[in-house]
Amino acid sequence: MSAQADTHDDHHHKETFVTKYIFSQDHKMIAKQYLITGTIMGVVGVIMSLMMRMQIAWPEEPNVIFQALLGKWAPEGVMDADIYLALVTIHGTIMVFFVLTAGLSGTFSNLLIPLQIGARDMASGFLNMVSYWLFFLSSIIMVLSFFVEAGPAAAGWTIYPPLSALPMAQGGSGAGMTMWLVSMAIFIASSLLGSLNYVVTVINLRTKGMSMTRLPLTIWAFFVTAIIGIVSFPVLLSAALLLIMDRSFGTSFFLSDIFIQGEVLHYQGGSPVLFEHLFWFLGHPEVYIVLLPALGITSEIIATNSRKPIFGYRAMIVSILAIAFLSTIVWGHHMFISGMNPFLGSVFTFTTLLIAIPSAVKAFNYITTLWKGNLQMNPAMLFSIGLVSTFITGGLTGIILGDSALDINVHDTYFVVAHFHLVMGISALYGMFAGIYHWFPKMFGRMLNKNLGYIHFWVTAVCAYGVFFPMHFIGMAGLPRRYYTNSNFPLFDDLQDVNVIITVFALIGGVFQIVFLYNLFASMFYGKKAIQNPWRSNTLEWTTPVEHIHGNWPGEIPHVHRWAYDYSKPGHDEDFVSQIVPLKEGEEELQH
Amino acid sequence: MTALLSILVLVFILVAIWQMVKIFDLTQSVTARSDNQVANDKDNKINGYLMLGFLVFIYVITIICFVKWGDLPLMSNSASEHGPGIDNLMIISMIIIFFVQTVTQFLLHYFAFKYRGEKGKKALFYADNNKLEAIWTIIPVIVLAVLIIQGLFTWTTIMNVNEENDPLILELYAQQFNWKARYGGEDNTLGKANVRLIDINRANILGVDESDPNAQDDVITTELHLPVGRPVLFKMRSQDVLHSAYMPHFRAQMNCVPGMITQFGFTPTVTTEDMRETPEMQDKVANINKIRVDKSKDLVAKGEQALDPYVFDYLLLCNKICGKSHYNMQMKIIVETPEEYNAWIKTQKVFKDSLID
């Protein structure tokens, strides 16, 4: 696959400020753009969640923070019930799509795919640029939706019709929902362009010797993630388009027999359940679109920092593929009690619980990789271990939620909130943090401060458990999610102290992210200068010069002679052997 | 007050962060030459011990949660015939989860501590072991097979609603933001209905077909009364958006979908009266009332009304986001003896008499 023409080798075009920093077609710059936009969206999303937590802990109490941030939605500092649902909705949308899909995949797929497979750039630099700017545009529209008269979309991030389809059902279903749908349609276009680019690049532009079985697991994860995205995102796009038709052109895809505010609407024959199917056909794979890149990053970081080969490389690839395949046939477990045929529920229970098997294999392989290692506790390593921990804790409760009989009683309670925040939210966020700490030197040529990294990790780790572990229990006690306040249910009065504890942990954890933000932005300019291969890693990105150059390698692209995980291999002096080092005479390429 | 407190906490945290920033600056300048921001032996040691500490933290938080709030969950005290089936499966699943969680978290954090890096140490080159991997593929397969089989058995039993054993037929009707119940009346048959037949002026609020003979004796109520021991078959409708009828004490939940009729059936086994008498419920209610008394003191001090004491009742809650007042869409459920139920239903107006001409 070295047939890649050295078209944009290192002969430099004249670059202006605009082509270098704004409309850049260089994958490394685009990765940075994704990182910074994703981080800003992350700050917005986290602030929303903190406001929600304060409202739940101290309902209907005046709060200056609400007054300052929500303006007319918090008259005299008391949060309005409509805006609470809007916060729920936009927090979910931003975190799932804008931070953990675009921010995570966008940053690291762009940065690492060319660098780790030995390519000059993405297959299409232009599409890559368009992809970022579409993402940027959709982010702007999503944030601007907070400024429309009747408020932003407030039907939950799942935007089930008819609630999302009828402006008279709630304020947010007017212009706010239109902006949500437009923003998501643009986002999906961006995501598809990105994914196509990733897939084509991985298939076509690998350097000589980089066979599929020598690819780092990061690339495998990004590659498979992109395929899942290509398969499932168009379905959400079609659902969004049909919903736009129902909203604006009077069609009845998802609506039927509706009487609201004193009048019968003309809709006839549609079904909201159809929308649920379409939505979750993306919605569930989306969980793995978020999670797989994080797991790929973790595989790489755990191996490097354990100074050991990743345990069971082949099994890891098979697990990724199995998860990807199963993820497209389990969506119905979100719909056990939607009114669909109970027999379908049985089928989806079966396929859903199967996913636990490759997940268990992955978790055990991570743990075995640590065994008898020489663990270098860099912040990236801590976040990777943290990911394995939350992945297990959050994943285990999946066997309750995936079981249709048990789901009846915990569906849409805080049990679900706790489950998915741990297994995909916190885990993927840890993966993103780990990736940032690990590849920051590659992105910016400087090091992040490790002591701030340690503070960041330990406070975040404690708070993440402090928030989401007790949350399982209030869920099992039957507390529904998305309630503006629980004060109308004396039945739940004894859960209020748990809610206050959760909120306190959330506030501490949320505010401590400032440590990370400070570290991130201060180190970009003032951090210690990085050396070429600070983590003593095997993969190709560390053979490029610290200063970014167009085309990545000066001169020829290096050839690859071994897999990415020859750490502490007997017969070598160093405890790492770069992929570009040829096999010694008589040395076996031990792997698989 | 709480707002003030939270702001105070934020201020303290910000001060702490400011201090850390200073540490950052100091480490940057003082150790600039020796420290390359890569973990050294000291970092490995400190973080290794912290990993061990974190393992203890996870165990402690688990124990605290189970001891302090383990009695909150609805894992016992179910009030329907199929309830214990779900509860048993839940307990089995929880035991498996608890076991796996304890062991794997131990291995993960203990290894992180035990094998923390030291200069000069060399890791074991250990890339693969098919036997091990086969083992931890097969064990989950077996465990999951057991869970799947029992889960499917439980699910099929619950969802297999039929009308053979003479269930009480009942319509649950959802609208923003309240619930109505419609009983089949003497003939235990619901009259046809569609939202297009709603006629507010005639007080036909559920769109019941006035010409349907089965509809004449239907009874529409705002409270749900159920006779104990008799199967109930709920036919659910919604007039506007999705709602979800969640009856946690009966381990029952089903969405209400505009344009279609969904159904769920169960048999209540404990009357409201009997449930109030159970020791678990008395403890829970006493605890809640203690909390309410404390809260009332604050309220009265502020010149507001004290809270009413809480008496237990079964509830139907809306559990699917449905708009502004979603958080207050509820209906009281009263399970009573068949005699009490029959007496109550006789006092209710039948559909044909409730219409306004």
Q: For A441-473, how does the pLDDT look when each residue is reduced to its tens digit (9 = 90+)?
A: 999 999 999 999 999 999 999 999 999 999 999
Look at residue A307 in the predicted model and tell me its pLDDT. Answer: 94
- Average the pLDDT over A472-492 and give the result: 92
List pLDDT tens digits, range B114-133: 999 998 888 899 888 889 88
B54: contact with A, CB 8 A cutoff = yes
Q: Which residue has the tokens 């072991």?
A: B129
**Is any Cβ of chain B less than 8 angstroms from the Cβ of A474?**
yes
Mean pLDDT of the B63-69 span = 88
Q: Is A571 on the interface with B (CB under 8 A)?
A: no
Mean pLDDT computed over A478-487: 93
Cβ distance A456 to A516 under 8 Å?
A: yes
Q: What average pLDDT does range B326-341 have in this prediction?
A: 96
* Residue A2 confidence (pLDDT) above 90: no
Q: Are strands B243-247 and B314-318 parallel, antiparallel or unpaired?
A: antiparallel
Residue B74 is predicted with a pLDDT of 60
- Two structure tokens written together for B82: 């199929």
The reply to whether residue A269 touches residue B259, judged by beta carbons under 8 angstroms, is yes
Q: How many CB atoms lie within 10 A of CB A317?
A: 18
How many interchain CB pairs under 8 A, A with B?
438
* A379 preceded by a cis bond (ω within 30 of 0): no
The token pair that represents A544 in the structure block: 């490029």
Q: How does DSSP classify residue A73?
A: G
pLDDT band per the 50, 70, 90 thresholds, residue B108: very high
B306 close to A (CB below 8 A):
no
Q: Residue B145 corresponds to which amino acid? A: A
Question: So what's the pLDDT on residue B133?
Answer: 87
Percent of chain A residues past pLDDT 90, beyond the cut: 87
Average of per-residue pLDDT across B83-101: 92
Q: What is the pLDDT of residue B75?
A: 58
Q: Chain A within 8 Å of B299 (Cβ-Cβ)? A: no
Determine the pLDDT at residue B306: 87
Query: How confident is the model at residue A459, as a pLDDT?
Result: 96
pLDDT tens per residue, range B163-185 = 788 899 999 999 999 999 999 98
* pLDDT higher than threshold 50 for residue B71: yes
Report residue B70's pLDDT band, with 50, 70 and 90 as the boundaries.
Answer: confident
pTM equals: 0.93
User: What integer is the mean pLDDT of B197-221?
Assistant: 92
- Give the residue with greater pLDDT, A336 vs A2: A336
B8 vs A416 pLDDT, higher one:
A416
Whole-angstrom distance between the N-terminal and C-terminal Cα of chain A?
Answer: 22
Q: Which residue of A has its CA nearest to B320?
A: A412
Q: Does residue A301 carry a pLDDT above 80? A: yes
- C-alpha atoms less than 13 angstroms from C-alpha of B177 in its C-beta half-sphere: 17
Asked if B249 and B266 count as a contact pair (C-beta separation under 8 A), the reply is no
> Token pair for residue B303?
């010149």
For helices A81-93 and A27-57, the axis angle rounded to 10 degrees is 150
CB contact under 8 A, A568 and B125: yes
The per-residue pLDDT for A3 is 41
Band the pLDDT of B3: cuts 50, 70, 90: low
Report the distance separating Cα A315 and Cα A277, nearest Å: 31
pLDDT of residue B27: 62
Each residue of A177-228: pLDDT tens digit?
Answer: 999 999 999 999 999 999 999 999 999 999 999 999 999 999 999 999 999 9
Q: Which residue bears the tokens 């345990």? A: A311
Q: Give me chain A's average pLDDT, please.
A: 92
Burial B286-303 (b: 16+ CB within 10 A, else e): eebbebbeeebeeeeeee
Tell me the shortest Cα–Cα distance from A98 to chain B, in angstroms: 23
By the 8 A CB rule, do B269 and A503 touch?
no
Q: Which residues lie across from B38 on neighbouring strands?
A: none
Res A545 pLDDT > 60: yes
Whether pLDDT at A13 is above 70: no
Phi, psi angles (nearest 5°) of residue A68: -70, -40
Confidence of residue A10 (pLDDT cuts 50, 70, 90): very low
* Cis preceding linkage at A325, omega within 30: no
pLDDT at residue number A220: 97
Please check whether residue A535 is in contact with residue A573, taking contact to mean a CB–CB distance below 8 angstroms. no
Whole-number pLDDT of residue B72: 60
Among partner residues B125, B253, B319, which is closest to A570 by beta-carbon distance? B125
- pLDDT band (50, 70, 90) for residue B73: low
The pairing of beta strand B224-227 with beta strand B330-336: parallel
Distance (Å, whole) CA B272 – CA A556: 80
Asked if A213 reaches chain B (Cβ–Cβ under 8 Å), the answer is no
For residue B200, the chain A residues in CB contact (below 8 A) are 262
Interface of A with B in 4-43 (CB under 8 A): none
% of chain B surpassing 70 pLDDT = 92
- For residue range A261-275, list pLDDT tens digits in order: 989 999 999 999 999
| Residue A1 pLDDT | 37
Taking an 8 Å cut-off on Cβ atoms, the answer to whether B321 and A522 are in contact is no
**Of A546, A549, A521, residue with least CA distance to A534:** A546
- Distance (Å, whole) CA A1 – CA A9: 17
How far apart (Å, rounded) are the C-alpha atoms in residues B56 and A52?
30
* Range A351-379 average pLDDT: 94
**Does position B32 have pLDDT exceeding 80, yes or no?**
no
d(CA B108, CA B113): 9
In this prediction, residue A552 carries a pLDDT of 92
Q: Which of A189, A194, A204, A186 is nearest to A225 (CA)?
A: A194
Tokens 């005479």 correspond to what residue? Answer: A585
Task: Give residue A15's pLDDT.
Answer: 73
